[in-house]
Structure 1
Amino acid sequence: MALLLPGYGLGKATLLPYALLLAQKGFVSVLVDLPGQGDSGGRHIGYGFLEAGYMKALTRYLYRRDRVCGQLILIGLSYGAAVALDDAALHPRHLTEVVAIAPFARIVPTIARYAQRYVDDAIPARRLLAAIRLAEHTLGYRFSTHDPLRMVPKIRAKVIYVVGANDQLTPLSAVKRLVRQTPNARLVVEPALGHESLITDTELLCSVVASLLDDHTRQPL
């Protein structure tokens, strides 16, 4: 079985091409709307740690209903990839493999890069920091304590990282740091692609995921 996690601001419908590909490979897929996105409720996102708790509950539900037979893999894009890494680190027993496509390594610098990229007017650094501290207070934890870079050493499953060579939001250098900190990791670099051009190139990513699955001999799930 495969659990599919979308990028920030995207819903599970964007993952349908991956589900179709995985079905051809013999996988049953569960497409997840993370809290605050798609059809899910909630006003807040937690940049990985909060969502990992929901993923644990989902996994338990699937096992209780005998929906999982054999191995369980997580495939996440961008923000969804960070959630997958946190989930694999915090709840390692059920997972056998993670495919993390363009994940971020540290939360606060990533928020700053997103703000610079997508907000028309520049946000003063002091104001941005105040907003981050308010978000931490609302969620009840410091982002720095749950950066993926600090979490990935706990992962037991195999992790395959995929990143664009020209990614400015989740830079190749940061993903390489994740790879070095992950006990069992492999890195796939797509040349000449940035963040959006990678995660929106469904045809390319489907071919990448297909080749990764073909690298392993596994029972249909």
Structure 2
Amino acid sequence: MLRLFALAAVCCLWLAACIPPTSTSLSERLIAPGGASPLLEHARVEALLARLPTRSGMAEGADGVQLFWRALDPGNYQLDYRYAGNPQGSALQQVAFDVHFQRPTEPVAPRGTVVLLHGWMMDGDSLMPWALQLAQAGYRTISLDLRNHGRSGHGPAGYGTREAQDVARVVRTLRAQGEVSGPLYLFGVSYGAATASFAAERLGPEVQGVVVMESFANAGRGIRDMVPHMLSSRPDTLKATAMTLYARLVYARQDLDAVIAAADARLALDLDKVDVRQALHDTPSCVLVLHGQADQHIPVAHGRLLAQASSRTHYLEVPGETHLSLPMRLDRLGATVDDWLARSGDPGHCPAPLPVGPAPAASALASR
């Protein structure tokens, strides 16, 4: 069983995880991730990836930043995915899922390529279940480690803007090498969803469709919504309790406007003008926006704003799902995403997605 110990699902680790003892500035957490995510059992993920027929390498992004990529070819993986659930919807409650698969015995020509973009303090390997889901649906998947994450190099964060420049350069490099084959789709989660939106705008007609899962609509607004929520979270383990109490002591009295202004100055970026909605308005691609109705890290109001970006944008609000749980719900979202990608080839006739069904009963998974 693969377990996620959710301190804040993707972006929440800005506040609690890997805080240097000497750091008293919340703006430092907004500027750089500050460490590797403890959300995933990395040894377990690496063991699963070792069984998959993947290829990987490095490619140059913007400003010379080196980006790590991993490709998985389509095939019949006989995927069996089970979600164990987070019944209380807590940001600090353990969530578990189980995934089983077989190596394909016969090669399959890709119907297109999906580039997968992860969230803050995660890496491309964290989207391994989606890589399998989409590979089984016939797509080659390429997961990227964004700048400042995973095996990739370092450079100023852009809250999706600079990262989109990286994605565009890497996509064009990999297409020249034959790794990007057929129609191109982008799939992003949280910080990666903002990146996918800006990358689609930059790549223009090269992108057929974009899946935007739980993105902020505006970076400054997202930070102002997320930080108070994370500081008020109730942890359920001793370690999480200690980390949360420390975050409250260090950060609770800091003025968010001043914090954001300090981050702006360090990044040479105006976070209040990092506008994902405008990027989606300007992209010619079909767009599917997904947001959990119970998301309190990046509240559902952000998804509803993105839904209004253009007539090419379709929106699904998923009842009962949080910022942590939504990316894990392949059981609810897999068929909808597969079907939407298959029908999103014509930007003049962007398809409405299939409705998402009720949540299946969570499986009781035994620990390994």
Fold shared per TM-score above 0.5: yes
Contact 1:156 1:183 in 2 (8 A): no
**1:186 aligned partner:** 314
CA RMSD of the aligned region, Å?
2.1
**Contiguous gaps of at least 5 residues in structure 1:** none
**1:142 aligned partner:** 270
Distance 2:284 2:339 in 1: 22
Higher-Rg structure is 2
Higher strand share: 2
Q: Which moved more, 1:59-68 or 1:154-163?
A: 59-68
Distance 2:319 2:230 in 1: 24
**1:23 aligned partner:** 135
Aligned residues: 217
Distance 2:120 2:147 in 1: 10
Asked if 1:158 corresponds to 2:158, the answer is no
**1:170 aligned partner:** 298
**2:205 aligned partner:** 93
Query: 1:214: Cα distance to partner?
Result: 5.1
Contact 2:294 2:319 in 1 (8 A): yes
C-alpha deviations, 1:21-67, integer Å up to 9, x for none? Answer: 21112111101111111222226432111101101111111122233
Asked if 1:48 corresponds to 2:160, the answer is yes
C-alpha deviations, 1:170-217, integer Å up to 9, x for none? Answer: 333321221112340111121111211212334434344234335568
Aligned partner of 2:173 among 46, 56, 61: 61
Distance 1:215 1:152 in 2: 19
Q: 1:182 to 1:31 in 2, by over 3 A?
A: same
* Residue identity opposite 1:179 in structure 2: A
Contact 1:90 1:154 in 2 (8 A): no
Distance 1:217 1:73 in 2: 10
Higher helix share: 1
Distance 2:198 2:326 in 1: 22
3-state secondary structure, aligned to 1:180: coil
Q: Which moved more, 1:164-173 or 1:82-91?
A: 164-173
**TM-score normalised by the chain length of structure 2:** 0.55
Q: 1:196 to 1:145 in 2, by over 3 A?
A: same
Asked if 1:8 corresponds to 2:120, the answer is yes
Query: 1:144: Cα distance to partner?
Result: 2.5
Identity %: 27
Distance 1:113 1:38 in 2: 26
* Residue identity opposite 2:315 in structure 1: L
**Contiguous gaps of at least 5 residues in structure 2:** 1-112, 232-243, 347-368
3-state secondary structure, aligned to 2:324: helix
Contact 1:161 1:188 in 2 (8 A): yes
3-state secondary structure, aligned to 1:181: coil
Distance 2:331 2:118 in 1: 16
Aligned partner of 1:36 among 134, 148, 153: 148
**TM-score normalised by the chain length of structure 1:** 0.88
Q: Which moved more, 1:70-79 or 1:140-149?
A: 140-149
Asked if 1:110 corresponds to 2:239, the answer is no
Q: 1:114 to 1:176 in 2, by over 3 A?
A: closer
3-state secondary structure, aligned to 2:308: helix
Distance 1:45 1:138 in 2: 10
**2:14 aligned partner:** none
Contact 2:209 2:345 in 1 (8 A): no
Query: 1:130: Cα distance to partner?
Result: 2.5
Q: 1:116 to 1:200 in 2, by over 3 A?
A: farther
Query: 1:151: Cα distance to partner?
Result: 2.0
Q: 1:154 to 1:217 in 2, by over 3 A?
A: closer
**2:261 aligned partner:** 133
